[in-house]
Amino acid sequence: MKSDSVKKGMQQAPHRSLFHALGFTKEEMDKPLVGIVSSYNEIVPGHMNLDKIVEAVKQGVAMAGGVPVVFPAIAVCDGIAMGHIGMKYSLVTRDLIADSTECMAIAHAFDALVMVPNCDKNVPGLLMAAARVNVPTVFVSGGPMLAGHVHGKKRSLSSMFEAVGAYSAGNMTEEEVTNFENSVCPTCGSCSGMYTANSMNCLTEALGMGLRGNGTIPAVYSDRIALAKHAGMAVMELLKKDIKPRDIMTKEAFMNALTVDMALGCSTNSMLHLPAIAAEAGVEITPGLANEVSAKTPNLCHLAPAGPTYMEDLNEAGGVYAVMNELTKKNLLNLDVMTVTGKTMGENIKGAVNKDPEVIRPVENPYSETGGLAALKGNIAPDYGIVKRSAVVPEMLKHSGPARVFDCEEDAIAAIKGGKIVEGDVVVIRYEGPKGGPGMREMLNPTSAIAGMGLGSTVALITDGRFSGASRGASIGHISPEAAVGGPIALIKEGDIIDIDINACSLNVRVSDEELAARKAEWKPREPKVTSGYLARYAKMVTSGNRGAVLELK
């Protein structure tokens, strides 16, 4: 056992004395040491229940003959961090989580790990750590929130942000906004639509790193506690069989995850996180590859904000496995890949039934023949930009309009709420990329303001920042190269005509190559917005969005 390096032999007598200080018995020191990475905290609604999940995991590990030992991981609530300087600190935590988990796992020689994440950067950060540390590992999330109810209709956090936009447009009273405020987030759990947290928890199932139901069983269901116990037992089986994350997270597994991503209509953030996780596993995932998968994968689900269904509905309809079973009808998945059950994906999903064809469309009747995401390329984005195609109204799939250029999110929001953006405009928000932000802020506030003011079917938005999974409409993010490194988005001028064709995967500005070259010759880098602390170090090491905003030594 790996933990023998800190438990066995005369040289380890000092180590054992410290285990004695922890109250360990000789019997415990003869058993495998299983680290449980707990993301519990009291500020993130998706994490406030993780103490119960962790206790259940501990029971499962102990029942199966292991010694569970808990250590922490941080997490930021994107909703609370949204729209102010706090959002600069969201994406950057993904690497802090991966790094700190690596440190704890290797320094203490754990034999196996159970990861207990839930929210946006927490899940990919721990998946990155799992690939890096490469000891037997199982994931069990805290589960999604139940949908709220306003006027008899299911609602979620995206409704709340759009309500603020509606209030700014004079279409909703303060009392009505307060009614939404008190109703849209009724339970603990990751926010109830197919936003980033739920996208990544579902894709953890598709990757083979989580048990059935990891992505969809609601946080408040007792089934979630049972799932956590099974996760604790499962990791002991993986340890016996010596099945490690890199045995599971293969190129074929990532292709499965991309395929399920397209069928579910996941958050655009998945195209930041999947490449970053894959890189840790020695696999390359590119935006162009996503287009190849999207071209042959039908979009089967329109969960909020793309449609009126929520995570609880997906769970009742059969969950991720039911979606995957639909995809097998077109031979779109590799069923021979290994999973944390110790069985192949084909064995796992055999018999999974689609119980609600209104929530999970059959492959014969998809929402579209192509996937939920698209990577757009052109003279604005030579290295691609990403859009959630399944959340774009048909009339905005092809759009041309004048650029309304802003060099930060705050200026764009002021213009939108001030009535300065009109039908047909293309809002450009730049210098908000991984390096320029720094931290690549989510743009849920401006996209929600556009939707809330009734402009969602006539106004597009492009940015080198990113979008929340709660964003909808013609919102194109991850423009690469970003403005801070002199990408073409930095060269757009007010009034330039921008052409968007989402089905053709193109994004261009009507400016000649010669004019763009002349503008580039005049362009000068901006002074860094942050010059000290973690963000300054992050900005020096981070790559553009097309590479997953991974860190690399320069």
226-244 pLDDT tens trace: 999 999 999 999 999 999 9
Name which of 495, 336, 355 is nearest 426 in CA terms.
495
Instruction: Give me the catalytic one of 141, 192, 468, 475.
Output: 468
* Statement: residue 470 has pLDDT above 80: no
Closest CA to 201 of 95, 319, 339: 319
pLDDT tens by residue, 124-143? 999 999 999 999 999 999 99
> Taking all residues of the chain, what is their mean pLDDT, rounded to a whole number?
96
DSSP one-letter string for 303-331: BTTSSSB-HHHHHHHTHHHHHHHHHHTTT
Quote the percentage of the chain above a pLDDT of 90: 93
168 band by pLDDT with thresholds 50, 70 and 90: confident
- Sheet containing 506-509: give its strands across: 373-376, 385-388, 475-477, 460-463, 426-429, 398-406, 497-501, 506-509
User: What Å distances lie between residue 194 and 362, 381, 395, CA to CA?
Assistant: 19, 26, 23
Q: Convert the pLDDT of each residue in 371-416 to its tens digit.
A: 999 999 999 999 999 999 999 999 999 999 999 999 999 999 999 9
> Distance (Å, rounded) from C-alpha 29 to C-alpha 33?
8
| Mean pLDDT, residues 152-173 | 89
pLDDT digits (tens, 9 = 90+) for 13-35: 999 999 999 999 999 999 999 99
**Is-contact 550 276, C-beta < 8 A?**
yes
Q: What is the pLDDT of residue 469?
A: 77
Say if residues 256 and 207 touch (Cβ distance below 8 Å).
yes
Q: In angstroms, rounded to a whole number, what is the distance separating the alpha carbons of residues 85 and 78?
A: 12
133 φψ region: left (φ > 0), alpha (ψ -120 to 50), beta (else): alpha
- Compute the C-alpha angle 44/167/394, nearest 5°: 85
Is residue 399 a contact partner of residue 487, using CB atoms and an 8 Å limit? no
**Residue 334 CB partners (closer than 8 Å, separation 6+):** 252, 253, 255, 256, 345
141 is catalytic: no
CA separation, residue 494 to residues 401, 402, 428 (Å) = 11, 7, 9
Q: What is the DSSP string of 247-290?
A: HHS-HHHHHHHHHHHHHHT--TTHHHHHHHHHHHTT----HHHH
Q: How far apart are CA 38 and CA 73, in angstroms?
A: 6
Amino acid 554: pLDDT = 64
**pLDDT of 197 above 80:** yes
